[in-house]
Amino acid sequence: MAFKQDVPWYKDAIIYQAHVRTFSDSNGDGIGDFGGLAQKLDYVEQLGINTIWLMPFFPSPLRDDGYDIADHYSVHSSYGTLEDFRTFLGSAHERQIRVIIEMVLNHTSDQHPWFQLSRSSQENPRRDWYVWSDTDTRYPDAGINFLDTELSNWAWDPVSKSYYWHRFFSHQPDLNYDNPAVREEMWNVMKFWLEVGVDGFRLDAVPFLVEREGTNCENLPETHAILKELRRKLDEQFPGKMLLAEANQWPADLRPYFADGDEFHMAFHFPLMPRMFLGVKLEDRKPITEILQQTPAIPPSCQWCLFLRNHDELTLEMVTDIERDYMNDKYAHDKTMRLNRGIRRRLAPLLDNDRRRIELMNGMLMSLPGTPIIYYGDEIGMGDNINLGDRNGVRTPMQWNGGWNGGFSVTDPEKLYAPLIQDPVYGYPAVNVFSQRRTEHSLLNWTGRLIAVRKTTSVFGSGSIEFLYPANHRILAYVRQLGDETILVVNNLSNAAQAVELDLRRYKGNILIEMFGKNIFPRVGEIPYLLTLGPYHFYWFRLRRI
Amino acid sequence: MTEVKLAGESFLTDDFLRQLIDVGEVDILVGVATHNNAKTIGSIVETIQAGILTYFPRERAVIVNADGGSRDGTPDLVVSAAIGDARSPSKLYALRTLHSISAQYASSPARGTALRTILAAAELLRARACAVISPESTQITTDWLPAVLRPIYSEEFDLVLPTYRRHRFEGILLSNLLYPMTRALYGLRIREPYALDFAFAGRLGSRFLAQNAWHDETARAGSETQFTLAAIAGGYRICQSFLGNKEHVERRSADLVPAMRQTAGALFASLEPNFSLWNSRTGSQPIPTAGAEPEFTLEPLRVNRKRLREMFSIGVAELESVFQSILCPSTLAELQRIAQLEESRFRYSAELWVKTVYEFAAAYHKSVISRDHIIQALVPLFRGRVFTFLVENRNGSAKDVEDNVETLCLEFERLKPYLLEIWNGRE
């Protein structure tokens, strides 16, 4: 099935992040699989999603939920076969849903045959596929990412009697990208999946590919050179496919990942995400406007990727110490909610299950410049279980109905890969797709309407943004423009009703048309435009001159 | 039933109200009343800003300037302290927006109206803790804000008054009249009952704002003193906090009359409505004090003592008919006697001074003549007392000065029954 080739398609994408393991189990073994995922494509399509991002599904010892890959060319047996994947992919494409998959470039599982060979002896041809050292003192300026579990970026290998480099878990040795063979093989991996038919990759942990003494081993020029080479090959051999960078960096350090439009197509805007939560809690737009002011312009063909939550902890790497302390105090007062430098909670619990705040955050997600990603389950307001350890509490089975195993699997509940959320507030009898489909104004249906309205225009995906700075700091207001189309977005970040006067003189003569109800609001004149908003309310107005 | 004010009757301008709407609810409000303070206000506001960012980074805060018609750009300097969407001008990181707004409450300065404007802002913004900082407090440090606000914020005090390290000859009106008389009558050892830098809880501010005293000229003039007295009368929790050095400010001779109105006048005016409170109190109690104890510094300071003595004597002579209405014959006779003495033998004793003040207070209460004239008439007598204070303390240590002030306080307390006796009758 050929897609309509609107390039760049990723600018109008609405991405749904899903893990095959957590979504739906079709064979009754308690683990989600591609058969189940394929069966739920109607659901995804009805929601309005046009792109699915799949978390790793490769063979793996699953010590990091699949980000520890042991075989790049296959599918984990728990999830199905390569053929099952192809079937799923075909079904998705039939529905005009693109699929991007995870590709972990930086490291593999220590169970990967490459590493097993590399460690076996210093003379093995794969020896240089990883980064080895006789001491653990090299690259001392590199920070430790998984602070809660790792004490060093070096791990001692008793087989090889030497140290190997790992920027993540110690069972995830880093590949050596100074080795051309590694670079060539990783391209072969990508090429394999592109030939299967995937539409792009989320490249995991890309800042860490190359190490150099005297640096923090992140975002090095050599790393960018490697990524550009991958992009060159991609454009040459698979035009129209997309690369999404996972680089948890400050905006200025993220900019190079776009280069001149010849490196990544998209990158996650990590610094913006915690500031959205910060802004709502402070009831102050300052954190949001400040970070977006610091965000550099990117090439016209490139795009930011926006998200509220994902499979990882809500990272607080890219905030100041004061902001981090505040976020921890307000959103993770219970310290068991904190992991590494983040908070391992889902969207709804973070926002106290406040429907208004959930809507506001989603409204901003869909209207700020970038491509939005919805994390599976957040569209129904799923809860979390921090007692499951690591980040597993936000990766519980999808809740389809209030019945047996929440509709996720027919197996015995004890055999599920992870227990369902069961508390009276977020548990599957209370929060599930089936009951929300029956309720016109459920969060699920509201999210569907939100996506539908967003898709009525390309302004949100491709348009410019100009912030208005009304004196009322509780109001975040901005104008999005693309060609002749102008949209005004006004968000009340506060728990109380607000009045705001907006300077819209530049748009004098335009009638404001509220985009959800399509009602008209007064015409813009010379005097400041007065709006009042309820708690956490937001408006999207189309400006129309008739 | 709450009185509803029509827009036309409000002293808050539409523009100011609009600014308050934009600010919204705050936790902390810092008010600064100004009139042509461009020379000093910039650094003061910068220090306030730094104090907020350093010690109250998470709190919703606003700086409110009540300006009495400055023509030197003072309000613009205050407003420039705001921190908004753009990168902070301060070197300190700002977690949230800091508003800094300004309102012109009048075309000429009126301290009481300025305070009223700040109180109104505090009420409308539901500020939990409020500080008022003088635009002349150039010695302010970032530590001032936590010193005055934390007792309110964290310890539920309602009023925090300052204490300072003052020059022994600075604030003699305070040490020889306001402090000892407030202490003797109201039973609380409040070192600076008339303070230009202080803090209060929102609930106290609202109570004071609701008082009808704003229509009274005297009350408007001495509103800071009235504020302290209202807190005492209302049984609010009061404490003191040490703020460090108090800079010596040169005052003109003519400044003493308005100063007397704002302090002694306000104090005298408070006695009548609060009679039931003060008449039964005996002795005095210390109030909680944070930080160091107040102390005197001893560096040399030029004072024209001779002029003070002369003005006293001239005043005693020229205002004899006025004093006959105010003072008891024996007190007046004694004043006339010491007015004749040479400078080297002149002494305005503590006992005589206390009697003088109490007789003035009683005369004020009975309005024997115009109350403002009564206050003005006290000025030359006060100058005589200042002369004696300067002489008695010129060579003393800081402790000696403190002891002398304490002696005077005890004299005020000892002679309180005298005030009660003459309150409604004469000696």
DSSP state of B177: I
Binary contact (A472, B96; C-beta < 8 A): no
Count of beta carbons in the 10 Å neighbourhood of residue A197:
14
Binary contact (B24, A472; C-beta < 8 A): yes
Q: How many helices (H) and strands (E) does chain A have?
A: 16, 22
Alpha-carbon span A35 to A91, nearest angstrom: 11
Which pLDDT does position B313 carry in this prediction?
A: 93
Facing B93 at nearest CB: one of A282, A283, A320: A320
pLDDT tier, A3 (very low <50, low <70, confident <90, very high otherwise): low
Binary contact (B85, A498; C-beta < 8 A): no
Instruction: List pLDDT tens digits, range A461-486.
Output: 999 999 999 999 999 999 999 999 99
Which pLDDT does position B2 carry in this prediction?
A: 40
Q: Is the pLDDT of residue A426 over 60?
A: yes
Which pLDDT does position A248 carry in this prediction?
A: 87
- CATH superfamily ID and name for A113-165: Oligo-1,6-glucosidase; Domain 2 (3.90.400.10)
Domain boundary among B297, B318, B337: B297
Which pLDDT does position B255 carry in this prediction?
A: 81
Please give the residue range of the domain that contains residue B100. Answer: 7-297
The number of CA neighbours under 13 Å toward the Cβ of B184 is 27
Which pLDDT does position A286 carry in this prediction?
A: 96
Residue A21, min C-alpha distance to chain B (Å):
40
Alpha-carbon span A328 to A421, nearest angstrom: 23
Q: Are B280 and B345 contained in the same domain?
A: no
Facing B85 at nearest CB: one of A289, A498, A499: A289
Domain boundary among B261, B278, B297: B297
pTM of the model: 0.86
Q: Is residue B330 part of a domain?
A: yes
Distances (CA, A) of A259 to A297, A306, A432, B122: 11, 19, 43, 51
Instruction: List pLDDT tens digits, range A329-352.
Output: 999 999 999 998 899 999 999 999
The number of CA neighbours under 13 Å toward the Cβ of B287 is 27
Alpha-carbon span A415 to A31, nearest angstrom: 9
Domain boundary among B234, B269, B297: B297
CB–CB of B271/B185 below 8 Å? yes
Q: Are B225 and B364 contained in the same domain?
A: no
CB–CB of A112/A65 below 8 Å? no
Q: How confident is the prediction along chain B (427 residues), in pLDDT tens digits per residue?
A: 444 343 445 678 888 988 998 999 999 999 999 999 999 999 999 999 999 999 999 999 999 999 999 999 999 999 988 888 865 656 788 999 999 999 998 767 788 889 999 999 999 999 999 999 999 999 999 999 999 999 998 899 999 999 988 888 888 999 999 999 999 999 999 999 888 999 999 999 999 988 756 666 555 667 888 899 889 989 999 999 999 888 766 666 668 888 898 889 989 998 998 899 899 888 999 999 988 877 777 776 677 788 889 899 999 999 999 999 999 999 999 999 999 998 889 999 999 999 999 999 999 999 999 999 999 999 999 999 999 999 998 888 888 888 999 999 999 999 999 999 999 775 4
Residue A458, min C-alpha distance to chain B (Å):
27
- Residues of B in Cβ contact (< 8 Å) with A290: 85, 87
Which pLDDT does position B166 carry in this prediction?
A: 84
Say if B93 is an interface residue toward chain A (CB within 8 Å).
Answer: yes
Say if B97 is an interface residue toward chain A (CB within 8 Å).
Answer: yes
Q: What is the largest CA-CA distance in chain A?
A: 78
Q: Are B240 and B145 contained in the same domain?
A: yes
Q: Are B411 and B310 contained in the same domain?
A: yes
Q: Which residue reads 């307000």 in tokens?
A: A330
Q: Which residues contact A531 (CB under 8 A, 6 or more apart)?
A: A490, A499, A500, A501, A502, A539
CB–CB of B262/B221 below 8 Å? yes
Distances (CA, A) of B256 to B264, B269, B389: 11, 18, 17
Alpha-carbon span B224 to B222, nearest angstrom: 6
- Residues of B in Cβ contact (< 8 Å) with A498: 24
Nearest CA in chain B to A325: B58
Facing B97 at nearest CB: one of A286, A320, A323: A286
Q: Is the pLDDT of residue A2 over 90?
A: no
Q: Are B232 and B129 contained in the same domain?
A: yes
Q: Is the ipTM of this complex over 0.90?
A: no
Interface test with A, best of B83, B97, B100 (most A CBs within 10 A): B97
B 31-90 residues inside an 8 A Cβ radius of A: 57-58, 60, 83-87
Q: Is the pLDDT of residue A420 over 80?
A: yes
Handedness of CA B112, B113, B115, B116 (dihedral sign): positive
Q: Which residue ranges make up each domain of chain A?
A: 9-106+180-454, 113-165, 463-544
| The two structure tokens encoding residue A487 | 């949209």
Q: Are B256 and B343 contained in the same domain?
A: no
Q: Are B288 and B400 contained in the same domain?
A: no
Q: What is the 3-state secondary structure (H, E, C) of A210-246?
A: CCCCCCCCCCCHHHHHHHHHHHHHHHHHCCCCEEEEC
Which pLDDT does position B427 carry in this prediction?
A: 43
User: Which residues of A are known catalytic residues?
Assistant: 204, 246
CATH of domain A9-106+180-454: 3.20.20.80
Binary contact (A474, B24; C-beta < 8 A): yes
Alpha-carbon span A278 to B260, nearest angstrom: 51
A107 vs A253 pLDDT, higher one = A107
Q: Is the pLDDT of residue A360 over 70?
A: yes
Alpha-carbon span A291 to B95, nearest angstrom: 12
| The two structure tokens encoding residue A299 | 């090439």
Q: Are B44 and B186 contained in the same domain?
A: yes
Interface test with B, best of A286, A503, A530 (most B CBs within 10 A): A286
- Backbone torsions φ then ψ of A185, nearest 5 degrees: -70, -40
Q: Helix, strand, coil % (nearest 5) of chain A?
A: 30, 20, 50
Alpha-carbon span B388 to B305, nearest angstrom: 9
Cα–Cα–Cα angle for B180, B185, B190, rounded to 5 degrees: 50
pLDDT tier, A1 (very low <50, low <70, confident <90, very high otherwise): low
- In DSSP notation, A47-107 reads HT--EEEEPP-SS---TTTTSS-S-TTS--TTT--HHHHHHHHHHHHHTT-EEEEEEE-SB
Residue A476, min C-alpha distance to chain B (Å):
10
Q: Which residues contact B109 (CB under 8 A, 6 or more apart)?
A: B33, B35, B68, B69
Binary contact (B22, A470; C-beta < 8 A): yes
Which pLDDT does position B12 carry in this prediction?
A: 83
Nearest CA in chain B to A497: B24
Binary contact (A473, B86; C-beta < 8 A): no
Q: Which residues of B16-50 are buried (b: 16+ CB within 10 A; e: fewer)?
A: bbbbbbbbbbbbbbbbbbbbbbbebbbebbbbbbb
Please give the interface size between A and B, counted as residue pairs whose CB atoms are below 8 Å apart.
Answer: 55
Looking at A159-173, A233-247, A338-352, B293-307, which range is the least confident one?
A: B293-307
Nearest CA in chain A to B97: A286
CB–CB of A326/A295 below 8 Å? no
CB–CB of B305/B391 below 8 Å? yes
Give the residues across from B241 on adjacent strands: B162, B290
Q: Is residue B1 part of a domain?
A: no
A 413-472 residues inside an 8 A Cβ radius of B: 467, 469-472
Which pLDDT does position A177 carry in this prediction?
A: 97
Q: Is residue B2 part of a domain?
A: no
CB–CB of B312/B318 below 8 Å? no
Coil, strand or helix at B374: helix
Q: Are B257 and B161 contained in the same domain?
A: yes
Q: How many residues make up chain A in this entry?
A: 546
Alpha-carbon span B108 to B116, nearest angstrom: 15
Alpha-carbon span A248 to A332, nearest angstrom: 21
Say if A320 is an interface residue toward chain B (CB within 8 Å).
Answer: yes
Which pLDDT does position B215 carry in this prediction?
A: 65
Which pLDDT does position B214 carry in this prediction?
A: 66
CB–CB of A292/A279 below 8 Å? no
Residue B114, min C-alpha distance to chain A (Å):
23
Q: What is the total count of domains within chain B?
A: 2
Handedness of CA A66, A67, A68, A71 (dihedral sign): positive
Count of beta carbons in the 10 Å neighbourhood of residue B276:
8
CB–CB of A58/A70 below 8 Å? yes
Tell me the mean pLDDT in the region A69-84.
97
Binary contact (A473, B87; C-beta < 8 A): no
Q: Are B217 and B287 contained in the same domain?
A: yes
Residue A496 — left, alpha, or beta (φ > 0 → left; ψ -120 to 50 → alpha)? beta
Nearest CA in chain B to A288: B85
Residue B57, min C-alpha distance to chain A (Å):
8
CB–CB of A174/A112 below 8 Å? no
Residue B110, min C-alpha distance to chain A (Å):
28
| The two structure tokens encoding residue A44 | 């995804």
- Residues of B in Cβ contact (< 8 Å) with A293: 85-87
- CATH superfamily ID and name for A463-544: Golgi alpha-mannosidase II (2.60.40.1180)
Which pLDDT does position B250 carry in this prediction?
A: 64
Instruction: List pLDDT tens digits, range A124-139.
Output: 999 999 999 999 999 9
Count of beta carbons in the 10 Å neighbourhood of residue A527:
10
Portion of chain A with pLDDT greater than 70, in percent: 99
Count of beta carbons in the 10 Å neighbourhood of residue B90:
16
Q: Which of B341, B276, B339 is nearest to B313 (CA)?
A: B339
Q: Is the pLDDT of residue A4 over 70?
A: no
Which pLDDT does position B298 carry in this prediction?
A: 73
- Backbone torsions φ then ψ of A502, nearest 5 degrees: -105, 135
Q: Which residues contact B317 (CB under 8 A, 6 or more apart)?
A: B339
Amino acid (1-letter code) at residue A46: Q
- Backbone torsions φ then ψ of A395, nearest 5 degrees: -125, 40
Q: Which of A485, A462, A487 is nearest to A7 (CA)?
A: A462
Binary contact (A498, B87; C-beta < 8 A): no
Tell me the mean pLDDT in the region A19-32.
97
